[in-house]
Amino acid sequence: MTNTRRMTTDLLSDPFFIGFDRVLNRMQNSTPGQTNYPPYNIVKLDDDRYTIEIAVAGFDENEIEVELKEGVLNVFAEKDSKDEGEYLHKGISARAFRRSFTLSDTIVVNGADLVNGILAIELENVIPEEKKPRKIDIGKKSKSGKRTLLNE
């Protein structure tokens, strides 16, 4: 963890990473030590749309919770413990889990659906007009109405 903190401090002092402190903090605070259960895919549908597919065989919709909080998408599941009989072999793991995904500020969660044991979460990158690339004219005055020079 100290290496990560040192790397974060180094990046924050780098002039090429202005304003990334909030993003780096979110990455640091995302769930550490996640297991590989359940398996998942991230599918890029086009330049602005994505789908996260999580294999949740054995879970019902009422046993899964999807939550977006402070830019982190959390998926929780807990299996209702029912006495369904004695298993001779139990190869389908339906244990409780938590999966977390750190999302960009421009990603919007459009919905989630559970079909054939796959939880599909639809994401879209919505870039506001003020964050889209724009041309900066040289020689124009700033909004304050005066020109500013670095050596003043």
How does pLDDT run across 21-80, given as a tens digit for each residue? 655 565 555 555 556 789 999 999 998 899 999 999 889 999 999 999 988 999 999 987
Q: Are residues 26 and 50 in the same domain?
A: no
Say whether both 104 and 118 belong to one domain: yes
Q: Which residues pair with 45 in a beta bridge?
A: none
With beta carbons less than 8 A apart as the criterion, state whether 64 and 94 touch: no
For residue 63, give both structure tokens.
Answer: 């046993």
Are both 54 and 77 inside the same structural domain? yes
Range of the domain at 7: 1-30
Does the model's pTM come out above 0.75? no
Q: Give the separation between CA 81 and CA 143, rounded to whole angstroms.
A: 63
Query: Domain total for the chain?
Result: 2
Kindly report, residue by residue over 120-133, the tens digit of the pLDDT: 999 999 988 888 88
CA distance linking residue 61 with residue 53, whole number of Å:
15
User: Is residue 123 located within the same domain as residue 52?
Assistant: yes
19 lies in the same domain as 51? no
Determine, yes or no, domain membership for 1. yes
